[in-house]
Amino acid sequence: MLSYRHAFHAGNHADVLKHFVLMQVLSYASEKDKPYWYIDTHAGAGKYSLNQGYATQNEEFSGGISQLWDADDVPTALSEYVALVKKINPDGHLRYYPGSPLVAEMLIRNEDRMRLFELHPSDSKILLQNFKQAGRKVMIETEDGFAGIKALLPPPSRRAVVLIDPPYEEKQDYQRVVTSIKESLQRFATGTYIIWYPLLQRPEPLQMLTQLAKLQLKSWLNVSLTVQSPSIEGFGMHGSGLFIINPPWTLPATLAEAMPYLQKKLGLDDSASFKLESQIP
């Protein structure tokens, strides 16, 4: 299925959590002198307009990045994320929101490399346009990232951050994530893998997490943010989370500071909450 367009959801509460955490992981990876690769299996368009097009239909960003835009009490780590978004809005007005590829491009170094996959032909075309000046540092493929990642691991530098962020339009995507992680760890056990997942009133997300937990991982972190009570109708996303394999050892403390603030700012009712658990040797 190719109906999913992330532009409808750009800058929402899930993007805030995802991109804030992605920044922490990439910043940590950049602390070492050795180069690394950033691999994005479902890259989207790379950059989204918030004042025209798809994003204006439901204005999901109003419950996400907009809640942090003018706040004067943002914790330090989160303030760096807000500053990054403001960098692509130099006039001070929230008009654009960066997708994961643009977040990564703003953080990686000259010696690092990006490998982006996007199967949707329209979004892939926009992604290519957004990165036409990037040169050899960025390679983009109009391809299924679940399949494409196999040829990239292990990367020449033996260091990589991999973001797996499928739309989950098809319930088979949950199993594809598990299969992809199993195969990727066999090829490249020391990579850092970030798996985004929605919180829904259906069993597949929790089943996926259960299967990931059974992989006997040495180092992992799971963080999720619930922003509202599940709908009476049983539809829609009431939160989201990230399961990270081989996370930075500094990440739990950073999230312990930031998550209560995100719960307060992005929560829509009294059921707003967060979950943070990890096992990092």
At residue 62, the 3 state secondary structure works out as helix
Whole-angstrom distance, CA of residue 244 vs CA of residue 143? 24
Closest of 4, 73, 62 to residue 260, by C-alpha: 73
Closest of 206, 121, 113 to residue 152, by C-alpha: 113
So which residues are the catalytic ones? 165
The residues pairing with 240 across neighbouring beta strands, listed in sequence order, are 198, 225
What stretch of H or E contains 141?
strand 138-141
User: C-alpha angle with apex 180: 176 to 185, nearest 5 degrees?
Assistant: 155
Contact 116, 127 (CB under 8 A): yes
Whole-angstrom distance, CA of residue 184 vs CA of residue 147? 11
